[in-house]
Structure 1
């Protein structure tokens, strides 16, 4: 394919995207988002090669010619894209084509895994023809079953990308004309085939071409759980558009699987440190030095909505910092250890909490993420406090300011977050990122609603935890759900997190009403 066409494809894909709303874990809309994917992968796999078995399962009946050609035409782009962006990902490519039971020996076509994309292209070009099929449903289950059992899956990262425009046989999937209304004539069931996929450690993805497969998707997700569904519809059979969409779905499938596998690997990597809940004798501990950094406070909503605001070096303020650090953590969570600390930079010392990530990879980026969320929550709480003061509500919402500590000793550099130590009051988790309300307070629920309205639906500050005082809630470590999935780390579930975890559960109360927020009964 010419360079001009490749540029056209890249331009089209960046402009329109290639996945449905539920599948945008990975996007190629700009370099920042691609760098985020690379960062996630590099966190867990370092410099090791990640060997990926990628299997295409394609309906090869008459209507699928364009998609067969697209898979063939874009595979070299996929290989080159991975070599350029994630060179430690090495691809082995396999193929399973299916038609229908009436097609006899041509019902299934198998091409075992190879690391030669030229061999793959040659096979697809010369051996795979869009032909056959009888009624509307096809031998989907036979194709998936053959892909699992007849291909030599030999690497731990396994991706199966299924593309088809019609469902399997059986009235569960298709209510119209069907030669096999009772289901697969060979006795295969969706449950048996998909459970084999699951037990084989294969990640399943589907490229949706028509609405005819909607019921199939629903049934498959009921068995496998949620999986990514890519929008492969093509207007006017534009081959370049088709190649771009298939390219996007392949890249997303690979990087998503590698990322998910990496997350599981991270959980296995976590070490356990001995904890001590007692504050140490500070007189026995040495003074350490480092650099303390925080974000310049945003001036307006425009800064909040602009992710680049938090990437500009001039918006990071740094200063020298002297401190003492307890040798053992007093607490731990899923991702961090918390240590007692003492700020001795000035004449009067201040008690602080120092937090260090359990997984050290990219700890600087993760610490900056925490500081960004804290800064945004602080800005929005200031706006909220101003609003409630005008309607006669006295109890404020405030957040501890998170700063990032860089400590270099010899050739080793470590990163921490630092925040003031809470007063001696009972620490509570008022609500959770999942939308569950642990302890109801109308002011806190109204604050979350306020963040949604103030940012015009862009984000919600939630997972509110901290202490309750007479005149304020003093909070720390908030989570932010945001429509931009590439901000605020792994706890950000995107628009789905806003809709399903917050809006569905939120009930407006008196504080929402006094603030004139959009009432949600």
Structure 2
């Protein structure tokens, strides 16, 4: 797990460099990282690791900003937990906090109960939708590197997220109370947000493959 979270730091640093490399740095820069985590029963060890490593991730990114860009540049971190549509605590989140004041984010991650459910798919689209509602910097700002990190071991509802057919989940078009996953991915693309996606179980390989066709995507399978 440490290898995975170290890879997040490296990938985020690369995204920041890509975003800011062509800009004239005469104003403060913003880097925003939102971690979106499946908090169902199978993810219990990842919840603990997320709390442990989020400070290290923030420190690594903050050092990258301070060494290469304006001293006034800053990092903001947020967290969204999701589970499944019918279970308790479907969503929980904390909006962006600016480093070094990340203890509230660490506390929010550590407070998540790992709740199991009865089917394979989880509400990944709903979690992504919640993450897009957080208080980010001005849309499409060239002064902000926006990164969304998805950490999960099960696919979302809809055929965009898996190829298991109705045997995995009967509503292949998604959930009625959540935007279509294709619309959410298009929204991510239009805002210039980078996706860092996990690919460490065979169940979740389809979503990263489909996502990278539409949006700037880094897939973390090689780090597991």
TM-score, normalised by the number of residues in structure 2: 0.77
Partner of 1:195: 186
Report the CA distance shift for 1:152/1:43 in structure 2 as closer, same or farther (over 3 A): closer
Partner of 2:136: 153
**Structure 1 residues 38-66: Cα deviation after superposition (integer angstroms, max 9, x where no partner):** 79957745464321221111111111122
CA contact (8 A) 2:11 2:218 kept: no
| Higher Rg of the two aligned structures | 1
- For residues 51 and 221 of structure 2, what CA distance do their matches in structure 1 show? 18
CA contact (8 A) 1:100 1:134 kept: no
**Structure 1 residues 76-102: Cα deviation after superposition (integer angstroms, max 9, x where no partner):** 212322343431452111111111112
* RMSD of equivalent CA atoms: 3.2
Instruction: Identify unmatched segments of 5+ residues in structure 2.
Output: 139-143
Pairing partner for 2:52 from 73, 76, 79: 73
Aligned length: 205
Partner of 2:120: 136
Partner of 1:326: none
- For residues 112 and 39 of structure 1, what CA distance do their matches in structure 2 show? 25
Pairing partner for 1:56 from 25, 35, 49: 35
Pairing partner for 1:163 from 151, 154, 158: 151
TM-score, normalised by the number of residues in structure 1: 0.35
* SS across alignment from 1:169: coil
**Structure 1 residues 99-154: Cα deviation after superposition (integer angstroms, max 9, x where no partner):** 111214x111121111121111122123x1222332111111111111112x1112
- For residues 130 and 146 of structure 1, what CA distance do their matches in structure 2 show? 19
Pairing partner for 1:180 from 145, 148, 170: 170
Q: How does 1:159-308 map to 2 (within 5 A)?
A: 159-171=147-159, 173-175=162-164, 177-186=167-176, 188-224=179-215, 227-231=217-221
* SS across alignment from 1:166: coil
Partner of 1:108: 91
- For residues 211 and 76 of structure 2, what CA distance do their matches in structure 1 show? 26
